[in-house]
Structure 1
Amino acid sequence: MTTPADSPAEAPVRIVRARRITTLEGRDTQVFATVGERVAAVGEQAERYAALPGAETVDLGDVHVVPGFHDAHCHPTTLAQTRLRLDLESGDTATPPRARIAARVAATPPGQWIVVERYNPRADPDGRLDRAALDALSAEHPILVIHFSCHMAVAGSRALELGGFHDDGAVPTGGDLGRDAAGRLDGWIYEGAWFDQWYRAAGEPSYLPEDAPGDLLAPLAEVFREFQSFGITSYCDALTAPKELKLYQQAREQGLLTMRVGMLIWHRYARTLRDAGLHAGFGDEWLRVVGVKLMVDGALAGGTCLCQDPYRAETGSDNGLQLMDDAELAAAVLAAHSAGQRVGVHANGDLAVAKVLDAIEAARAAYPESRVNHRIEHCSLVDPALVGRIRAAGVTPVPFGAFVHGHGAKLRGYYGDARAERACDHRAFLDAGVTVGGSSDHPAGPLGPLLGIQTMVTRRTSEGDVLGEDRRLTVREALSVYTAGSAHATGESHLKGRIAPGMLADFAVLGDDLFASDPDGIGAVPVLSTWVGGRRVWEA
């Protein structure tokens, strides 16, 4: 612990005061001290620092200070790229998708790509887009419209051709291609078929036009400000490739990296990490490798996740898709585990979760000396037996925070009442003694951690329905999920998630007391300012 006697003379000293400070390390307090980027003392011990020469007192007043929110699974670089494309969730959202795409076609020279983001077919007043609809807008432009879940896309004929998709072609492993009544491709590209285009292996030509990292710096800085406006101080970018790593490096070199970033590297590049001897946690407090990203099944809200019991999937089949076969999954997990790399495996359905646990249990048995906590991303549909296995294997689930709020009707529609009421079951994990990370999966889900906390506390959907009343958390439990729980998920419990001596001085200032707020209004609690390393990086 840093004391006044050994405080570095060059490090700024601040005494932070507020009506209520929730530390998640013992009792709440009204004061803490920071030296440089770290918390030095909390409570009465912090008062000693006020006597130091140059100590600054920051009196925040009648506010509630909480540890900075840490989103353990989101996609900020995808969001930055979205800002350079046609984003159907921003701008003139009242205009139907076809009309917005037509306007983009008119403004784009023939032959150039038109990439559209965040399409929700269920909200399209003109009906679900398909190949014919896109061809009617333009046969000269390659048009690709990406589903809001990012797990599927719909393409026009020219875009299908550039991707190597043909009416008489084989269905790619781990994916599916939609077809019309005549057996012709209808333009829809699902899961593995889509991801193999989106993240091609190193050395392969890119499917979509590449944005230079320099072009993405300004949009990424805008994303940082948006995240900070929600009180987020750290996040894990849950699907990154070398181009994203270069982008973050440039942002840091140019002084634009105002958030702490962890990265899950797409598994196609895992061997490069292993050959370089890089294990989980390589990096520093600003930019680090969290682990390797794998995907076993599809999307919860997109209706393509792999379940034990059948349901009417979005592809028209009676179940979702398995993106990696069992042998490939087992080999990838074993290779990562043996090298000390954390895996973050996307698995929504209960059958997919079981397959991931099979692979992790086998890897732990083969290399018991490696104790890194592996992750299951989303881990959306589980039963008591799976929860028990998760605890025994030392796995950290990272469920969606606000999906029950944002996609409740879809969950009932796809999976039925019983499964929907147990979706994103933070309660089951906490009751079993399993540490859980908080995540938005933004832009696939709502970003705000406070809305995520509200959803975990109320289990109320945007339609006013309640999914699983007995699955509710307390406010303190939900706050801990989005702070200390997320820090555990990224292997940073020693640095983040609490306001305690030695921890990074990352915190959010809220205009209302979370513990005194109406549970259904937690998402509307104002964020007044966000602080990273003891420095204010955003203010309302």
Structure 2
Amino acid sequence: MDGTEPEAFAAQDGRIIAVGSRRGLYARFRSAERIDLDGALVVPGFNDAHSHVSQAALARVRVDLAGVTDAEELRRMMSERAALVGEDDWVLGHAFDERNPGLGGIDRRFLDGVSATRPLVLIHYSFHKAVGNSRALEMMGYRSAQDAPAGGELMTDADGRLDGWMYERAWLDPWLPGLQGTSVASPGEMGAQVAALRAVNDEMHAVGITSYCDAIVTAVEQDMYAAALADNVLTPRVNMLQWYSCFDETAEPPSFGTPDRLRLAGVKMMLDGALSGGTCLCQRPYQSATGSDNGLQILGDEEFAATVRRVHGAGQRVAVHANGDAAVDKVLQVYESLPPPAGHRMNHRIEHCSMVDDSLIARMKSIGVTPVLFGAFIHFHGQEISSFYGPDWSRMICAHKSLLTAGVEVAGSSDYPLVPADPLMAVQSMVTRRSSEGLLLGPEQQLSVSEALGVYTVGSAHATGEGHIKGRLTVGRLADFVVLDQDLIAMEPSEIGTAGIRSTWVGAECVWRNS
């Protein structure tokens, strides 16, 4: 990823110490162990700059609804877990997807039929909403739609009664109360958490991921990662974004002893809703999923600005979820008002940054903001994006090309488990700009294969301030790499996602092999 194509490289103590020809390195390091990759294509390890691996792991400790498409199967799974817990113990189902025909219409009334005595909640796969039974609503203090906090909504049925659905802060605040209280979501036994995390990490390695940034971390998730590190089973390199309600500027940032394996990368905030869910905060009106002519603003302007300034003043990176162009504008206004950090340029981020125009891009370039764009959302959600925002407006959604052309460093992300973590499918999506149904959105934003690989390697390393140690296979950097079974540049662009991973390496150690 520096413009050269060496035949070989040498690694020692997990870092690259030389690159060049095979013959030259054999002569230079006569006693070294030699690993022949049989002419395969080697690229830097893929780095997912915004994912939710910890939530995917915790889902497996709770009630994992991924792949469940039948209401009666869901009823059975939730009933069995409810029978094992006390009356005040929460039963949470993860990754509920009401788009499945067999799960349509599930609401408070359905969940009351599962249990009237235990609090039940189904967390939507997007995390932006959830649905609970009457007991759950009661324990959260929700009796009517007027009880929703600012930045959240409680939905009602035709009679005006709460139907159990909670949007944005109406769900996020009970789930992620931070320093203000205790989450409704119990993490379960630590051994089970670590075992689930190991399984998910193996799946990340299987698609070539060597590093990722977990975009919502509280003390629960942080403890899980720390336990995996202590047990020597944390095989990928992990950055964490601390949820803003957990941030305490008077406390020392946590240190885990091995910063190239586990570290805190900044503080996460959320300003608007979901791109594919149709709740973005936009400059122009549209028919959003909330039933109004726009999406949701989750944090008020004053609270948002004050929190950003606190985090910035403490020398921490800020990472703000902002999808719509109105939300991106609000983030930039606050970033532009910040005093320069002492001694260095703070690399603040905008998570997703889905809708931009030339003026927003110029402002990002001017102050050094890193946008962390969805990699594969055009492939997986192109049809929904076009339906919500229209084909013309959608041309500049996930504007990788315009940002790179302007000289903005762009990071790649999946938002896993909202969509599969597969970076090769993300590369295909960035190169083709076609949805899984074949819909073409904004061909002028198509990238070359090399540019797309750069987003998921060089760009993602920049997003966490690690460009000096990750993203390229050059001397001094970490020996994290992926061995592919095909030359991506020679492939038909629409087939890039079918390329296979032969093996994945972290610090020159093989962490996954296709056997």
TM class by smaller structure: over 0.9
Contact map agreement 1:33 1:46 (CA 8 A) in 2: no
2:75 to 83, 96, 101: 101
* CA-CA distance at 1:88 after TM superposition: 2.8
* CA-CA distance at 1:524 after TM superposition: 1.0
Of all paired residues, the percent bearing the same amino acid is 46
| 1:9-408 equivalences in 2 (<5 Å) | 24-44=1-21, 47-48=24-25, 50-52=27-29, 54-90=31-67, 93=68, 95-106=69-80, 108-109=82-83, 111=87, 113-167=90-144, 169-202=146-179, 204-271=181-248, 274-278=249-253, 284-364=259-339, 367=341, 370-408=344-382
Deviates more, 1:406-415 or 1:104-113: 104-113
SS in 2 for 1:346: strand
1:250-269: CA deviation from partner (whole Å, max 9, x where unpaired): 11111111110001011112
Contact map agreement 1:279 1:291 (CA 8 A) in 2: no
* CA-CA distance at 1:322 after TM superposition: 0.8
CA–CA distance in structure 1, aligned partners of residues 175 and 487 of structure 2: 43
SS in 1 for 2:337: helix
1:38-87: CA deviation from partner (whole Å, max 9, x where unpaired): 00111149834654463111001031100000000001110001112333
SS in 2 for 1:146: strand
AA partner of residue 39 (structure 1): I
CA–CA distance in structure 2, aligned partners of residues 61 and 168 of structure 1: 63
Contact map agreement 1:496 1:503 (CA 8 A) in 2: yes
CA–CA distance in structure 1, aligned partners of residues 102 and 21 of structure 2: 60
SS in 1 for 2:371: strand
Structure 2 unaligned blocks of 5 or more: none
1:446-489: CA deviation from partner (whole Å, max 9, x where unpaired): 21000000000000101111111111000000000000100000
Contact map agreement 1:162 1:207 (CA 8 A) in 2: no
CA–CA distance in structure 2, aligned partners of residues 387 and 279 of structure 1: 34
SS in 2 for 1:327: helix
Contact map agreement 2:468 2:477 (CA 8 A) in 1: yes
Contact map agreement 1:213 1:243 (CA 8 A) in 2: no
Contact map agreement 1:231 1:527 (CA 8 A) in 2: yes
Q: 1:429 to 1:46 in 2, by over 3 A?
A: farther
Contact map agreement 2:226 2:256 (CA 8 A) in 1: no
CA–CA distance in structure 1, aligned partners of residues 93 and 238 of structure 2: 27
CA–CA distance in structure 2, aligned partners of residues 225 and 279 of structure 1: 26
Report the equivalent of 1:534.
508
**Aligned residues between the structures:** 511
CA–CA distance in structure 1, aligned partners of residues 185 and 412 of structure 2: 31
TM norm structure 2: 0.95
SS in 1 for 2:390: helix
AA partner of residue 385 (structure 2): L
Report the equivalent of 2:422.
448
Contact map agreement 2:8 2:25 (CA 8 A) in 1: no
AA partner of residue 286 (structure 1): R
CA–CA distance in structure 1, aligned partners of residues 396 and 226 of structure 2: 40
Structure 1 unaligned blocks of 5 or more: 1-23
Report the equivalent of 2:457.
483
AA partner of residue 208 (structure 2): G
SS in 2 for 1:116: strand
Q: 1:126 to 1:27 in 2, by over 3 A?
A: closer
Q: 1:97 to 1:483 in 2, by over 3 A?
A: farther
CA–CA distance in structure 1, aligned partners of residues 326 and 425 of structure 2: 29
* CA-CA distance at 1:241 after TM superposition: 0.7
* CA-CA distance at 1:494 after TM superposition: 0.4
Contact map agreement 1:33 1:39 (CA 8 A) in 2: yes
* CA-CA distance at 1:141 after TM superposition: 3.3
Contact map agreement 1:280 1:342 (CA 8 A) in 2: no
* CA-CA distance at 1:153 after TM superposition: 0.5
AA partner of residue 500 (structure 2): P
SS in 1 for 2:178: coil
CA–CA distance in structure 2, aligned partners of residues 98 and 313 of structure 1: 30
AA partner of residue 338 (structure 2): A
* CA-CA distance at 1:203 after TM superposition: 6.0
* CA-CA distance at 1:282 after TM superposition: 9.5
